């Protein structure tokens, strides 16, 4: 692999087999993983001029890179890099920090920066890199750079989002990254390859776009109830160069009939339409459909949490909203069992009216009581629930779709009994 693309050779001891790859760091960076979680090479490697040049070209050369993380994030990461470099200088005459990195730092620190709340409300393009299957790793287990370059998805979201305009859909959450990691494996891909697939609660569209671009689906319908999210997915559909004959973003309010004609360009195909003219699906996907991500930490939004929550619920139910506002202001998590009956009704609708064969769902097990309510309701409604054996790798072993595993995430297959 060439230096500018993927790696640096450390030959300080006269050997060229001490191979250091920047691929994982770069993939984490463009996914906007929290700076303190980034995996940097050691300072001895990074202080080399070739390594610094590679870091600049692959991470900070704004003229040549797109998408590129927001200003604040770039500044935080570069600050960490410069700190490592400064600590690694052993010979001031031989070791020096590159002019490109220093000029970039000077530019970043002089630009005005948005507040934390503004950052959470601003959307930016984020590039996700898929995990590398074992078969696509180099002989020493290092992920193939060529494979990485061909398995990326661009979304438009806020990685720091908590709540925005009443929806948490403008962020790709851990359960979706977990499910994407599973689908990137041969066993996961086999579940959707050649199938007509629909995703419920698509949010940023990350999962649907990954399926449509890389997993060989016959058709992929990405649904959400929010018009803004669907418009956002349409923008990213073009940026990911998805085939409109295969990929269909669509608004769907659970409990109503699904139609692909809503706000749909005329050139989009009908691969999800059965021979009888009806919509039909083989597989449905969903991530955290019964665990809304309404989490606000005191240190982030503090006293404004209650006002935000009240605004979100639009005073439709003041008592209900105030209870949640109190929880939010205290930094507590909210789980909604009220969604379970509607979700099960939607399951039934998909199996009975859209010929669905199976539903693959990823769930973050933050609240066992809520999820047990969901599982019991499935059994009472003649759904068979199977916990699939896949578990996300530990954070340090992940090669793409990076996400926390501190809270268990499980994958389930749901089918209709009989």
Report mean pLDDT in 10-residue bins for the chain, 418 residues.
46 42 93 96 93 97 96 96 95 90 97 81 94 63 52 92 60 96 97 98 97 98 94 98 97 90 53 62 92 40 34 37 41 55 93 97 86 90 95 94 95 92
Are 140 and 33 within one domain?
no
Q: Which residues pair with 8 in a beta bridge?
A: 20
Distance CA 98, CA 402 (A): 29
This prediction's pTM: 0.83
Structural domain contains residue 347: yes
Distance CA 275, CA 111 (A): 57
Final residue before a domain boundary, out of 82, 113, 144: 113
Final residue before a domain boundary, out of 94, 113, 132: 113
C-beta neighbour count of 263 within 10 angstroms? 12
Distance CA 54, CA 60 (A): 10
Structural domain contains residue 251: yes
Are 268 and 384 within one domain?
yes
Are 315 and 192 within one domain?
no
Structural domain contains residue 59: yes
DSSP strand pairing (247-251 vs 219-224): parallel
Helix, strand and coil content of the chain, in percent to the nearest 5, comes to 40, 15, 45
Are 146 and 264 within one domain?
yes
Sign, CA dihedral 116-118-121-124, equals negative
DSSP reduced 3-state for 186: helix
Structural domain contains residue 107: yes
User: If you count them, how many residues does the chain have?
Assistant: 418
HEC letters along 56-112: HHHHHCCCCCCCCCCHHHHHHHHHHHHHHHHHCCCCCCCCCCCHHHHHHHHHHHHCC
Give the pLDDT confidence score for residue 135 in this predicted structure. 55
Give the pLDDT confidence score for residue 117 in this predicted structure. 76
Give the pLDDT confidence score for residue 141 in this predicted structure. 46
Final residue before a domain boundary, out of 85, 113, 141: 113
Are 218 and 344 within one domain?
yes
Are 42 and 161 within one domain?
no
Are 284 and 310 within one domain?
no
Give the pLDDT confidence score for residue 259 in this predicted structure. 86
Residue 393: give its domain's CATH number. Answer: 3.40.50.150
Are 136 and 277 within one domain?
yes
Distance CA 350, CA 354 (A): 5
Distance CA 34, CA 23 (A): 17
Query: Which of 38, 84, 36 has its CA nearest to residue 59?
Result: 38
Are 239 and 318 within one domain?
no
First-last CA distance in the chain: 53
Query: Which of 283, 115, 64 has its CA nearest to residue 195?
Result: 283
Peptide bond into 67 cis (omega under 30): yes
C-beta neighbour count of 38 within 10 angstroms? 17
CA distances from 306 to 171, 291, 336 (A): 21, 20, 18
Confirm if 38 and 78 have CB atoms less than 8 A apart.
no
Distance CA 274, CA 190 (A): 21
Taking phi over 0 as left and psi of -120 to 50 as alpha, with beta for the rest, 402 belongs to beta
Structural domain contains residue 118: no
Are 68 and 180 within one domain?
no
Distance CA 273, CA 262 (A): 15
Give the pLDDT confidence score for residue 109 in this predicted structure. 95
Query: Which of 143, 142, 81 has its CA nearest to residue 108?
Result: 81
CA distances from 181 to 146, 157, 207, 319 (A): 19, 19, 10, 40
Taking every pair of C-alpha atoms in the chain, what is the biggest distance, in angstroms?
76
Are 286 and 302 within one domain?
no
Q: What is the domain count for the chain?
A: 3
Structural domain contains residue 119: no
> Which residue range forms the structural domain that includes residue 314?
298-329
CA distances from 353 to 76, 300, 347, 350, 357 (A): 51, 44, 10, 6, 11
Structural domain contains residue 2: no
CA distances from 207 to 83, 90, 180 (A): 36, 46, 6
Are 197 and 302 within one domain?
no
Distance CA 215, CA 418 (A): 29
Structural domain contains residue 402: yes
């Amino acid at each position: 692999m060439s230096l500018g693309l993927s790696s640096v050779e450390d030959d300080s001891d006269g050997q060229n087999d001490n191979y250091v790859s920047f691929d994982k760091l770069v993939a984490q960076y463009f996914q906007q993983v929290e700076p303190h979680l980034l995996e940097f090479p050691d300072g001895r490697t990074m202080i080399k001029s070739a390594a610094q040049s590679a870091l600049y070209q692959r991470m900070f050369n704004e003229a040549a890179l797109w998408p590129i993380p927001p200003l604040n994030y770039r500044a935080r990461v570069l600050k960490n890099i410069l700190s490592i470099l400064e600590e690694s200088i052993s010979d001031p005459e031989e070791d020096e920090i590159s002019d490109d990195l220093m000029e970039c730092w000077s530019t970043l620190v002089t630009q005005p920066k948005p507040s934390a709340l503004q950052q959470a409300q601003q959307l930016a393009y984020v590039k996700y890199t898929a995990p590398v299957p074992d078969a696509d790793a180099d002989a020493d287990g290092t992920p193939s750079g060529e494979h990485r370059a061909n398995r990326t998805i661009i979304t438009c979201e806020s990685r720091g989002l908590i709540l925005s305009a009443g929806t948490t859909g403008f962020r790709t959450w851990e359960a979706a990254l977990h499910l994407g990691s599973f689908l990137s494996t041969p066993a996961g891909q086999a579940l959707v390859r050649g199938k007509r697939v629909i995703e419920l609660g698509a949010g940023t569209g990350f999962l649907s776009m990954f399926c449509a671009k890389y997993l060989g689906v016959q058709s992929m319908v990405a649904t959400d109830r929010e018009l803004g999210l669907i418009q956002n997915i349409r923008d990213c559909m073009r940026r990911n160069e998805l085939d409109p004959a295969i990929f269909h973003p669509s608004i769907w309010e659970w409990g109503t009939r699904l139609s692909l004609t809503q706000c749909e360009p005329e050139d989009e195909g009908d691969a999800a339409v059965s021979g009888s003219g009806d919509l039909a699906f083989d597989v449905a996907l969903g991530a955290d459909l019964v665990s809304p991500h309404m989490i606000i930490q005191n240190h982030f939004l503090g006293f404004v949490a209650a006002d935000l929550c009240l605004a979100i619920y639009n005073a439709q139910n003041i008592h209900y909203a105030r209870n949640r506002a109190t929880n939010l202001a205290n930094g507590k998590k909210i789980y909604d069992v009220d969604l379970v009956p509607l979700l099960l009704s939607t399951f039934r609708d998909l199996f009975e009216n859209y010929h669905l064969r199976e539903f693959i769902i990823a769930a973050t097990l933050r609240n066992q009581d809520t999820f047990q309510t969901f599982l019991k309701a499935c059994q009472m409604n003649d759904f068979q629930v199977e916990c699939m054996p896949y578990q996300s790798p530990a954070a340090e072993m992940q090669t793409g779709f990076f996400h926390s595993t501190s809270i268990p995430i499980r994958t389930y297959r749901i089918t209709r009994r009989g």
